[in-house]
Amino acid sequence: MSKATPDRQALLMQVLKAEWEMFQTVNAVSRASCQDDPDSFAVMRGAQFATWSEATLESYLSDLTQAAGQGKNLMTLKYARMDGHVPRLNPSPLVERIVEVQTRWQQELAGRFPLVLGRGRGVTDGQTSSGTSFARYLAGELETYSERTLALLWQDMEAHLKANTNMAEQVYAAMVRALGYEDLADAEKSLASR
């Protein structure tokens, strides 16, 4: 997990603000309840970004800023792609590579913390009975990133691969801490006792 410095925190807040503004205008049949919950949005998205390097965050903020300047909404594009309403947005081979590794990490984590991960999306399309799987959601999101952001994210992931650490575990650890749990084991234990 990347160290939280004042500059990094300010950068993270800029990314979350830009995403939230786009998320508010996602066109859908009906407004999703999460669109009215900025705190949960910040926890979930902030946990993901906690694992990214500052360079990756900066590049993604640039993607968001550039898209907004062109009148594009990356959140709308992500959801449209996930739902199959638009053709593939980015043919980069890094999309498949990142999805493959992240899906493997997610599956490994689901084996260790099934109750925590069971509260979210199924990992693959075959593992979810409703909604969009993690793999499809991630691919839709990655296709909105620039090639530079994809390459930097892949570098972040390569560091985890070399260290034999699970990046998804760090995402979920940050998320459960933000929700008041000590760690993933504490969250799993709490869910088991309900």
Q: When comparing pLDDT for 22 and 123, which is higher?
A: 22
Confidence label for 102 from pLDDT (cuts 50, 70 and 90):
very high
| pLDDT tens, residue by residue, 37-72 | 889 889 999 999 999 999 999 999 999 999 999 999
142: amino acid identity, one letter:
L
pTM as predicted: 0.90
How far is C-alpha 8 from the chain's CA centre?
Answer: 18
Confidence label for 30 from pLDDT (cuts 50, 70 and 90):
low
The end-to-end CA distance of the chain, in Å, is: 30
Q: Do 187 and 176 meet the contact criterion of CB atoms below 8 Å apart? A: yes
Lowest mean pLDDT among 54-63, 116-125, 167-176: 116-125
| pLDDT tens, residue by residue, 68-99 | 999 999 999 998 898 888 999 999 999 999 99
